[in-house]
Amino acid sequence: GQQVMQIPQYQHVQEGEDFTTYCNSSTTLSNIQWYKQRPGGHPVFLIQLVKSGEVKKQKRLTFQFGEAKKNSSLHITATQTTDVGTYFCAGTNDYKLSFGAGTTVTVRA
């Protein structure tokens, strides 16, 4: 079964607001990856975090890997309608990549 849990499952955001989605694992991960899937589309790789406490930014998106390498977060500032979609985290443990169930984001204009 899945080793990686994501919360919340759904996120309804007012355009312009910030939100955060979280990813948690019961085991230590060697890396964490984040993907975005637009409605009707396929997952697209966004970023990979490897180091404990690592923080990376892509424009309005901030990705963080926890100190214990068991959790991660994705924070989006000033949400836009282009941010609509499902965000998946995926963690590597024992040479296997496990995907979380995703956070589906809708935006109110």
Partner 1 sequence: DAGITQSPRHKVTETGTPVTLRCHQTENHRYMYWYRQDPGHGLRLIHYSYGVKDTDKGEVSDGYSVSRSKTEDFLLTLESATSSQTSVYFCATSLRGENYGYTFGSGTRLTVV
One residue of 2, 80, 81, 106 binding partner 1 per CB under 8 A: 2
Q: Which is nearer to partner 1, 36 or 70 (CB)?
A: 36
Q: Which of residues 47-76 bind partner 1 (CB under 8 A)?
A: 48
One residue of 44, 55, 68, 78 binding partner 1 per CB under 8 A: 44
Q: How far apart are CA 87 and CA 44, in angstroms?
A: 9
| Segment (H or E) for 3 | none
Please count the residues of this chain forming the interface with partner 1, following the rule CB under 8 A: 24
Contact 63, 34 (CB under 8 A): yes
Q: How far apart are CA 3 and CA 62, in angstroms?
A: 23
Contact window for partner 1 (CB under 8 A) among 15-23, 56-64, 71-79, 88-96: 88-96
Q: How far apart are CA 90 and CA 38, in angstroms?
A: 17
Contact window for partner 1 (CB under 8 A) among 15-23, 26-34, 57-65, 68-76: 26-34
Q: Which is nearer to partner 1, 66 or 91 (CB)?
A: 91
Check residue 1 for interaction with partner 1 (CB under 8 A).
yes
Q: How far apart are CA 76 and CA 26, in angstroms?
A: 25
3-state secondary structure of 17: coil
